[in-house]
Structures are given as C-alpha cells and as structure tokens.
Structure 1
Amino acid sequence: MNIKKVILGIIIILLVGSGVVFYVFQDRSKAEIDIVAVNDIAQSLAEEWNSVKDNKLPGLNYELEYVVLDSDNNYVASTKRDLNTDINSAIRNRDTIIEIKSDNKEIGKLIIYNNIDDIWNQYRMYLFAFTEIFILAVGVIGIVYTLYIDRIIFLPFRRLTNFARQVAEGNLDIPLEMDKGNLFGAFTESFDLMREELKKARENERIANQSKKELVASLSHDIKTPVASIMAVAEVMHAKSKNAYEKKQLDVINSKAEQINTLITNMFNATLEELQELKVSVTEQSSRLIYDLIKNADYNNHVTCFSISECIVLLDELRLAQVIDNVISNSYKYACTSIDISTYIKENYLFIDFKDFGSGVLEDEKPLIFNKFYRAKNSEGKNGTGLGLYISKYLMNQMSGDIECENVDDGFIVRIKLLIA
C-alpha cells in the first residue's frame, strides 16, 4: 500500500462528499411548476364544475396536489387532506392561485400546493443518511489507515525501543526482528549489526579481562615464593646473628617482606575471587580449633589470655585463618595496643570479639570499610590496599557467617560470627 494513493483516495472521497452536500443544499425554491399541467387541470375543472362539487377531481395523473374554491372563496374539494383551504393560508405558503373561468366568467379558484418544504424535508433525510454513510466510510478508512501506519511505522519503532532496552541491559543475544516489507528495513538492520558488534566487543573485553586477571594471579603466586624465601633466610640469619645492629636490620627486612607478602596475598585472593576460583570448603569443626588459629596469627603476642566457647561450628580452616590473620594484623597496624578476645553463643551463632584499645573508625565510615579498596581516614601513611576486610567479608559470608565492627568507649571491636552446626 502506497501512502500517496491513500491520501489521494481520501481527497477524492472528500470532494465527492462535498459535491453531494452542495447539490442537496442548493436552492430548491426555484423549482418550476408545470404550466401545461396547471392549465389542463384548470380547464378540466371548468368543464366538469358540476361534478367537482361531488369531489370528483380531474387531472390527478399530473401528481400535483391542489385545492378547489368557489367564486366566494369557499372550500369545494382537494386532492388530499391538510392542504391550505383558504386564500390567506395559500398566500403564506406561497401556493400558486389560478382562476377557474367558464365563458370568461370566474366560477372558482385553483390553489396548487407548494410542496417545496416536503421536498426539502425529504432531501434532508437523504442528506442525513448520506452524512452517516460518509462519516462511517471516513471512519473505517481512518481506522484502516491508522492500523496500516501502526504496522509499518509505530510497530517497528516499538520493536526498536524494546531492542534498545535489551541492549542497555546488556542482553546482546536477542536479534532485532525485521520485516522484509518494513519501510525502515535498512535502518533496523543497522541496529542489529550494531548489536552484533557490541556483542563481539564485549566478548573481546571479557577475554582480555580474563587474561589480565589470570596474569595477575599467576604473578602474585610466583612472587610469594621468593618473598617466603627472603623471610625464611632473614629469620635464620636473625637467629644466628649476635650483633644487635644486624638483628635490627634483619627485623626491618622481615617486616618489609611481611608487608609485601600481605599485599601479594590480598591481590592474589582478590583476583581469584573475581575469577570465582577462591574456593571455600565448609566442614563441621570444633571451636577449639579457633584457639590455635588465633595463637598462630598473634606473632607479636598482643592477644591477652582468652578461652573459646566449646561447640561445633561450620568453617573452612584455611579461610578462617586468613580472616583472623587479617583482623589481628589490622589491629597491629592501626591500634598498636593489646587485644582482648571474648566469645559467646547467641541464636545458633558463635561470636568472637577482637577488641583493641585504639581510636577505631568514624561512625560514617563503618558501613564502608568492608567495601573493596576503601580505606578509612586513620589509614593515612600506612601501607595497605583496602582489600583485606573486603575479602574477609566475602569469606565469612561463604561460610554462612559474617564479620562486623563496632566502636566502643575504650576502643574498637571486630566481631566474627560463625554458624553453629
């Protein structure tokens, strides 16, 4: 279907309709009366005047309605009822009045009924019917044309809108539906080509990121081995050395190597997590195991005497050791005070509180310190990446537990929550 043809058809319909309306509404008052018929009726009435008084009217085959009056303007007869039976009414209705003569003497009057109003009413009925049909036809054409416009224009754009939403949401696997008869075929095809290119670009980006993460993970793992060797050699040299200055320097080497090892561990674990390779294997273990994990992590002996509430908890020994190492090393780094540890059981969970006596963190920073790469204001001038607590949070959640923090009047508490089996 061609839009130009549709528009031309609508114009033709409007012109035809306007012509019909003009024809119906033209001045019908100028309709002429058949003079021959009127004269014939008048002559017949004059010849048959006596029978007219008996309501026998001649000239009915002319299809004219009329009234007959006598010479005194009295009603004699008529072709039908409800006609004008007096001169005044006939004049008001603009009826035609003809004298009826016999031997040049007026014997009566013939009033030809002016039926223009009846004809006009009839035309108005025709006009009403035509108008209804015309409006119905225009309405049907309008509906059909609207459906046509919707199918060839608006429907493709609705599909484009839905397609754009899918692309914005990152769903690049659904192709754009295209109709061969669509006026925007080339336009929509370009959008689908764009989708395919975006899909290729995203896949290439994913492969590149995967390669980058694998490289970082590999390098992090490879660097840990020489760092561990450096730490081991430094410890051996420290044990054998009797020179105080040398021991001090070896302590510095060991401390820096430990910092490097912590940074590499955090980087390695963060990369593994993004690769979904940071495995957590949860088993049922006695809570007594936690005592040894804390002691192993407290290499500066800042933890005071403590005991662990005995129960069976769900944990991964390796991952929990990593979390405890991170909590205690943070206390070393930011508080430099002793660490009090307390445990208690509440609502099927074992809670372990690590309390130091440092300044803690600002209240508005507490919800943020477990975010990736976030470092609180009290970390200025201290080494770190902002990954330790983030990884600890991830590991505890994988063990069906949690980790949280709290400021208290005389210090700062980090609370580990383990699910009881």
Structure 2
Amino acid sequence: MMIYIVIISVITVFIILIRFYLLKQELKRVNRQLNQLNKKVISKKIDLTFYDKDLENLAKNINEQIDLTNEAVVEKLRIKNELKQAIANISHDIRTPMTSILGYIQFLESGGISPEKRIKYLANIKNGALRLKVLLDDFFELSIIESVDYQLKVENIKLNKLLLEVLIGFYDDFSKAKIDPSILIPEDEIYIMADPSAVKRVIENLISNAIKHSSGDVTIHLVKNPSSVQLNFMNPAEQLKEKDLTFLFDRFYKADQTRTRRGTGLGLFIAKSLMIKMNGKLSAELNGNQLLMKCEWMIETS
C-alpha cells in the first residue's frame, strides 16, 4: 500500500513538473512574440500551443491591447493626414483673398486709375479683407471650441425667440440669394437647457450652409416632441450624394471642392461640436434631393 502511495505521489509530482515546464516554455514563447511585435518583426496576435485557462485569459487581454494599439495607430495616421489636409486648405483659403488684396493694392499704387476703377478696386479689397476675417474667425473659434478649458454656460432659454432673432439677421442674405424661406415656428413657447451663444452659432452656421448650397427654397421648422425639441433645416441640394453624408461634419470637408471661396468647410463641424458639448445631436439626412439638417435637444419629462 505504501508503495502505491509513493508511486502515485511520484507521478503527481512528475505531472506537476511537466506542466510547470510547459507553462514556462509557453510563457517564453509568448514573451518572444511580444518582443517581435515590439520590434515590428511580426504583426499577428499572440497565439498559444499549450492551453491553460489563466494563460488563455492573459493572451486574450494582450490581444485586446494589441487591437487597441492598432486602432490608436490608425487614428493617429488619420489625424496626421487630416492635419496635413487642414494646413493645405488653410494655406489655400488664406492665400487666395490675400493675393487678390495685394494685386488690387498694386493697381492702386500704380496711379493713373479712374475714380470708377478706384472705387471698384477698393470694394474688391474690402471684400477680400472681409473674406479673410471670416476665415480667421472660423479658425479662431475652432481652436477655442476644441480647447480643454472651453466651457458652456447652460441656462433655460426660449428657443422660439432666439431663432427669430437669428433669422432677422439673415434677411438681407435671403434676399440676395433670392430665397423665400418657409419658417414654421409654434406659437407655444419652447424652452431648452443650453448655452445661448452656442445655440445661436449653430443656427447661424446651418442657415448659412442652407443659403450657400441650396438650389431652391429653404424650410426651417421648430418642433416640440414629448421628450425632445427638434430644429430642422431643409433645402434642395442636388449636388450632394449619399456618400457625402458620412463626411459632411468633418473638418474642412466640402462636397463641392471647387467652391473654396464659399467657406472654410468648418461651419458644420463647429455646429456639430457645439451640439455635442450641449448634449444635443446634429444629424443629416438626404431624402431624394432634399438635405435635412436636424438639431435635437432632449427635455426633461415630468
């Protein structure tokens, strides 16, 4: 009986030693794979030849970390490429009006210009300067919004009143574009918790976008639902394609890249950034040739 106990004990110890040896060898193998990954010799995930529950969990966690690292690398490359494109866009957008301004200044300095041409050149210089101001304002606002110190002053605001105030400011713009907007605002007062200046900026950007790119009339509709408030902007956008919706709110994106003089491509990005900071939503839908921009703020229900 004693012999059997000794034999069983020896076998048990032998099995434990073998298992310990195999685990150690597998850990060495995993370590080699990690070293090769770090040195970019291989790019595949960690695999095992000896299976143990704890070792499998370790490999699983390592592989999840590898996935996160790969995603971070891809995101870093995307941001790098986006930054390069942004710098190129900024340089082009600023250079164009600046070149025009300098050109007209040279004409004025040359002398021998009729009063009519002088007035025309000065008007062109003024337009170029205003264009530069819009560009710089957009870039400055973008840097402020993306700052970690940027904070909103949320309060209870009457959206009906604010919307009408902004619309009045766009009367001349609608007239120049020969657009007769259809404005649908309920008589009942509609309140939301938000930052007044941020909401105003969102509305201004969406109206400007509708005026610039509409191939017809513009509809602005304020709606109060049981759990939310929606502010919708609809306009014909025949040049827009379904694929454009994915990128519509990206920095500097323009569905029509030839229209560089019409804007920086930052308006919609700024609008969406502000909506997110106010815990709201801004989305785009394309129904036939009609573009629908939908702002939504959730409201508390009693």
TM-score grouping bracket, smaller chain normalisation: 0.5 to 0.7
Aligned to 1:304: 181
TM-score, with length taken from structure 2: 0.56
1:290 matched to which residue of 2?
Answer: 163
Counterpart pick for 1:253 among 84, 100, 125 = 125
Q: Deviations over 1:174-204 (max 9, x none)?
A: xxxxxxxxxxxxxxxxxxxxxxxxxxxxxxx
CA contact (8 A) 2:145 2:274 kept: no
Q: 1:281 aligns with which of 150, 153, 157?
A: 153
Whether contact under 8 Å (1:360, 1:411) holds in the other structure is: no
Gaps of 5+ in 1: 1-128, 166-204, 217-222, 231-242
Deviation of the 1:390 alpha carbon: 1.9
Q: Give the TM-score of the pair, scaled to structure 1.
A: 0.42
1:315–1:290 CA distance, 2 compared to 1 (3 A)? farther
The two structures, once aligned, show a CA RMSD in angstroms of 4.3
After the TM superposition, which of the residue ranges 380-389 and 136-145 deviates more from structure 2?
A: 136-145
Distance 2:121 2:197 in 1: 32
Check conservation: 1:352, 1:415, Cα contact below 8 A: yes
8 Å contact kept, 2:163–2:203: no
Deviation (angstroms), 1:374 = 3.3
Does residue 389 (structure 1) correspond to residue 285 (structure 2)? The answer is: no
Q: Which has the higher contact order (CA 8 A, sep 6+)?
A: 2
**3-state DSSP class of the match of 1:306?**
strand
Deviation at 1:138, TM superposition (A): 6.4
Partner of 2:230: 351
* Secondary structure at the counterpart of residue 327 of structure 1: helix
Q: How does 1:20-419 map to 2 (within 5 A)?
A: 136=8, 139-140=11-12, 142-150=14-22, 152-155=24-27, 248-287=120-159, 288-297=161-170, 299-302=172-175, 304=181, 306=183, 308-309=185-186, 310-335=189-214, 337-359=216-238, 361-376=240-255, 378-383=256-261, 384-408=263-287, 411-419=290-298
What SS does the aligned partner of 1:300 have?
helix
Matched letter for residue 227 of structure 2: N
Residue 369 of structure 1: CA displacement?
A: 0.9
- Give CA deviations for 1:98-154 in whole Å, capped at 9, x if unaligned: xxxxxxxxxxxxxxxxxxxxxxxxxxxxxxx99x79975763453243254257544
Q: Which amino acid aligns with 1:142?
A: F
Stretches of structure 2 lacking an aligned partner (at least 5 in a row) = 38-75, 88-93, 102-114
Do the aligned residues in 2 keep the contact of 1:331 with 1:337 (CA within 8 Å)?
Answer: no
Look at both structures and tell me which one has the larger radius of gyration over its CA atoms: 1
- Whichever residue aligns with residue 258 of structure 2, its letter is E
Corresponding position of 1:41: none
Q: Distance in 2 between matches of 1:279 and 1:297?
A: 27
